[in-house]
Amino acid sequence: MGKLGVSIYPERSTFEKDAAYLDLAHQYGFKRVFTSLLEVSGDQDAVLTNFKRVVDYANQLGMQVMIDINPGLFEQLGISYDDLSFFHELGAWGIRLDNGFTGQEEAKMTRNPYDLKIEINMSQGTSYVDNIMSFSPKRANLLGCHNFYPHRYSGLGEDFFNQCTAQFAQYNLNTAAFVNSHEATFGPWPTQDGLPTMEVDRDLAMATQMKHYMLMDNIDDIIVGNAYASEAELKTMQTVFNAEFPAIMIDVAEDITADERKVLFESLHSYRGDRSEYILRSTMTRVIYKDLPFAAHNTVDIKRGDILIDNVGYGQYKGETQIALQAMPNDGRVNVVGHIAPDELFLLKYLKPWSSFKLIPNAQ
């Protein structure tokens, strides 16, 4: 079972604010904490003392702290890859290598006496993970995590994301990626346009970003990249992450009837397995609601993403719900009762035959 996570950046905030945020995240079932120690500037002891304080607080809540580091930090602090006691004493659950070694070192690091997790960068698209696997790591202690991208238009494309993720999935390694909070104001660096992994997610609502990952179904852990997400966003993440079925948001037609609302929003829809290239069919609604009239209205021509209910003119099909997969003429027997919300239209491609889903009205 995957986990939800948040990010904190102690050097850019205060202990009190970080602790309050961790309390809130913990309240919504979040387990992971991402933080970075890419460089230690100024008074080294003071920086590490402050850092340890917030790590200890997360541990008291039963959360798992992953510290992002780079090999330069090993040098700066005089740490060797074959002695990870420093990170154990800091209270870390694991360390994420922002840049790796050669493969052999990472494999050896997974066999540390503290069972610290070693998390490696998933966003490179190289044979790095294959190389590590060839040195016989302790698989339970090797994890993968994608990068996040503060620069607009620099986030990963989905095809590349999937290609990188598949390299880790073949070894059954735990995987993680980032979503972007729109309420958060900072990350590890001064400049940021949000901190998503995939570029397509950057400006999407948190619920839609989460649905994207849940429908792709190839990532275990989902972490908010920037700080601090709002309580509403954390709650949304928890709701979508734990939802029994995905829920697609619908803009309803102005003349939708009460009966049609019932069909759309009080039914669990199931994508009929003998698929068509034109319509996604949810056929049970014509059985459950066979006694309702479904008079013809709004029988306009159909475009991709339209929500359809067959009207009385369609005989035994009356009351069947469909989602249009492409544009089609309407001969008057189909009521166009809504449309997938524009930001969620791209999710249509992830719905699979034989899967079930819900439709929810767009609150706007």
For 80-184, list the strands marked E by DSSP: 94-97, 117-121, 142-145, 174-179
Integer angstrom CA distances of residue 246 from 46, 111, 208, 288, 326: 46, 39, 10, 21, 22
Render pLDDT for 62-91 as a digit per residue (tens, 0 to 9): 999 999 998 788 888 888 888 999 999 999
Pseudo-torsion of CA 181, 183, 186, 188, nearest 10°?
Answer: -20
Render pLDDT for 126-137 as a digit per residue (tens, 0 to 9): 999 999 999 999
Number of residues written out for the chain? 364
Render pLDDT for 254-270 as a digit per residue (tens, 0 to 9): 999 999 999 999 999 99
Query: For 119, left (φ over 0), alpha (ψ -120 to 50), or beta?
Result: beta
Other Cβ atoms within 10 Å of 85 Cβ, number = 13
User: Tokens for 201?
Assistant: 């997610």
For β-strands 174-179 and 221-224, DSSP reports them as parallel
Per-residue pLDDT in tens (0 to 9) along the chain, 364 residues: 799 999 999 989 999 999 999 999 999 999 999 999 877 777 888 889 999 999 999 999 999 999 999 878 888 888 888 899 999 999 999 999 978 888 999 999 999 999 999 999 999 999 999 999 999 999 999 999 999 999 999 999 999 999 999 999 999 999 999 999 999 999 998 888 999 999 999 999 999 999 999 999 999 999 999 999 999 999 999 999 999 999 999 999 999 999 999 999 999 999 999 999 999 999 999 999 999 999 999 999 999 999 999 999 999 999 999 999 999 999 999 999 999 999 999 999 999 999 999 999 997 5
Rounded-to-integer distance, Cα 214 and Cα 194, Å: 20
Q: Give counts: helices (H), strands (E), the chain.
A: 11, 15
Rounded-to-integer distance, Cα 55 and Cα 64, Å: 9
- Write the burial class of residue 177 (CB in 10 Å: 0-12 exposed, 13-18 middle, 19+ buried): buried
Q: Are 343 and 204 in contact (CB under 8 A)?
A: yes
For 293-355, list the strands marked E by DSSP: 306-310, 321-324, 334-340
In 3D space, the residue among 250, 288, 251, 252 whose CA is nearest the CA of residue 268 turns out to be 288
Residue ranges and CATH numbers for the domains of the chain are 4-243 (3.20.20.70), 248-361 (2.40.100.10)
Q: Are 115 and 142 in contact (CB under 8 A)?
A: no
Integer angstrom CA distances of residue 168 from 4, 125, 129, 294: 19, 11, 7, 50
Rounded-to-integer distance, Cα 348 and Cα 324, Å: 10
Q: What's the confidence (pLDDT) of residue 291?
A: 97
Rounded-to-integer distance, Cα 166 and Cα 219, Å: 10
Rounded-to-integer distance, Cα 166 and Cα 11, Å: 35
Q: What's the confidence (pLDDT) of residue 120?
A: 96
pTM: 0.96
